[in-house]
Chain A
Amino acid sequence: MSKEHDRGMSVIVKTVTRLTVGLILLYGIYILSHGHVSPGGGFAGGVIIALSFIHLMLAYGKEAALKRIPSQALSFFEGFGAIMFLAIALLGFTGGYFFLNFLPKGEPFKLFSAGIIPLCNIAISLKVGAGLFAIFIALVLLKFEGENK
């Protein structure tokens, strides 16, 4: 079981994955960056990004995915996303209130509008993507080690 998963799945799955994984990642980035003008947002975008890496990992085995995004980077992104979100909240104190939307609102329907909302989306998606992928890796690795015994 363990070896089979290190190698990944069959060649058909690998080919389809190679074609689709970039699209899924791009879709995730689209969803998160347009969270304030269309349905979606940081959370859904972050989960989709995490899913694209999970997809890669299921098809190619864990080494291939971890080579592209090592686990130190994961924990860094997670902590960084959290700190960034908290920092945005604290920067509101410059305007006098916790969580104040202190940036200019911009023009509706444009990508760069709505003040802090796109920034918050990016922070959340970093955190969610890294965090959920870390959960997945932790649970999958646990399973492999458990079965080796």
Chain B
Amino acid sequence: MGANVIPLFVVVSLSGAFLISLFGRKLKWFPDLIGSAFTALLLLLSLYAVKIVAEAGTLVYSAGSWKPPVGIVFVLDGLSSFMLVTVNLVAFCVAMFSINYMAKYTSKWKFYTLFLLMLAGMNGVLITGDIFNLFVFLEIASVASYALVAFGTERHELEAAFKYAVMSTVGSLFILLGIVFLYSATSTLSMADIALSLSPGKHSGILMLVSILFLMGFGLKAALVPFHAWLPDAHPSAPAPISAMLSGVLIKSLGIYSLCRIIFCVLGVSSQLLSILMVLGTLSMLIGVFLAIGQWDLKRLLAYHSISQIGYVILGISLGTPLGIIGGLFHLFNHSIFKSLLFLNSGAIEYTTGTRDLKKMGGLSEKMPITSTTALTAAMSISGIPPFNGFWSKLLIIIACVQAAKYWYGFWAVLASILTLASFTKVMKYAFFGNLKSQWAMIKEVPVFMKLSMIILAVICVFGGLLFFPGLREPFLLKASGVLLDAKTYASTVIRLVQ
């Protein structure tokens, strides 16, 4: 087995999508089964990937037996396997949730096909070691997500999808332009080879241009603050499981992972770039949370919080210290879990009551005990209440800020956390507590698969903090942060392993 497992991440999800498109329109049960079974298989594969990376270190695999730089190489290292687990865990829960939730929509098989294609795109981005291949799979995930945002084909959904599609396409064009300049300067497309060919003295101008282009391009994909305008429209407009995917993992794997991989491992990280990222991260953190406080639409509020939490991740990673990077990555994982859970909760509320307006809800905890308990868990997690996972990662980021003598950044992080708590107190008060409104007297708890996926995510929220404790952190978090810390060795490791 060993390295042969790497291409399977793309192959399994792609073959799921193709099979659903062939047989799904006749057999009603087929898309549900394939969607859940294949994502479960992918989750098992990614856990296996963590295991083999922990045992054997970085693995590489050459497609078609062509060694890089001639062919395309797959690279599976600590960061990739960490992201693979995050993506596929959320995808499995979302696929299970969709079994009941997507019954509201027509053409379920199209939904599952696009969902698996998006998953294939994300997995492809995570395992590739070739910069143009990264672009291709990034576009697969993006194109699938444009269609999924507009899946309900209502007015505002189409409008949000158009805005998202145009801005994201501009981002892709910037990324492609950056790839053209890199190719012209180095005459190769393999990331490891580019990293070895670039020399700071000869290529300083082009490195700056390419860094700016990638920052704009991946910033648009990750919705960092000057480029965030599409997110508050696109994420609420999508069906709830897709909002969970978009906010939970898509902006991270396409935006943050790709940006970190290229800036740290390929272009070589410089202190100016890190300080730019730090400022952008802090701005995202504060502006996102300030915009979120005034919202009354539940999903829109959650979308603004995504911008804010992405800011935490960027702030942690751009500190550049070991503790900061671990904190940032840990927060990335935690945010995927609790933000998907919150979006699934909002989907469950919409499923039973048909509204997203906080003012119209009230007292739902009586009628929907499981939804409200899991939502309470996630809300405490996102606002950093001690035993839950969000607390530990925020604590790590703040300690790292203090250690690096960046006291103001630490202060802003604490402030944003307090504002998050305030905003979620509002959500819990208006949605779940208080008096039950008379129009909701007849509602029932959601169906079984929706309950199950919310419970799984909530359990991870409660026990997620354990991942940082010794014994569990070595294969998972430390391997991932090690990749970004020793980014200079990435290229030489890959080249050494393929020989």
Contacts and interface: CB of A to CB of B under 8 A. Distances in A.
B62 A97 contact: yes
Contact of B64 (A82, A83, A99): A99
Q: How large is the interface on B (under 10, 10 to 19, 20 to 34, 35 or more residues)?
A: 10 to 19
The prevalent SS among residues of B at the interface is helix
Contacts of A96: 65
B61 A98 contact: yes
A98 B62 CA distance: 8
B7 A98 contact: yes
Given A86-B15, A90-B11, A99 B63 contact: yes
Given A83-B19, A99-B63, 11 more contacts: A78-B21, A79-B21, A79-B22, A80-B22, A82-B21, A83-B18, A83-B22, A86-B11, A95-B65, A99-B64, A100-B65
A92 B14 CA distance: 17
Interface string A74-98: 0110111011001001101101111
Contacts, number: 38
A79 B7 contact: no
A76 B22 contact: yes
Interface of A: 75-76, 78-80, 82-83, 86, 89-90, 92-93, 95-101
Closest 10 CB pairs of A and B: A99-B64, A79-B22, A97-B65, A98-B7, A82-B18, A99-B63, A79-B21, A83-B18, A98-B63, A100-B64
28 contacts: A75-B21, A76-B22, A78-B21, A79-B22, A82-B18, A82-B21, A83-B15, A83-B19, A83-B22, A86-B11, A86-B14, A86-B18, A90-B11, A93-B4, A95-B65, A96-B65, A97-B62, A97-B63, A97-B65, A98-B7, A98-B11, A98-B61, A98-B63, A98-B64, A99-B63, A100-B64, A100-B65, A101-B64
A75 B11 CA distance: 21
A97 B21 contact: no
The prevalent SS among residues of A at the interface is helix
Contacts of A80: 22
A145 to B, nearest CB: 13
A68 to B, nearest CB: 22
Contacts of A78: 21
Nearest to A76: B22
Contacts of B65: 95-97, 100
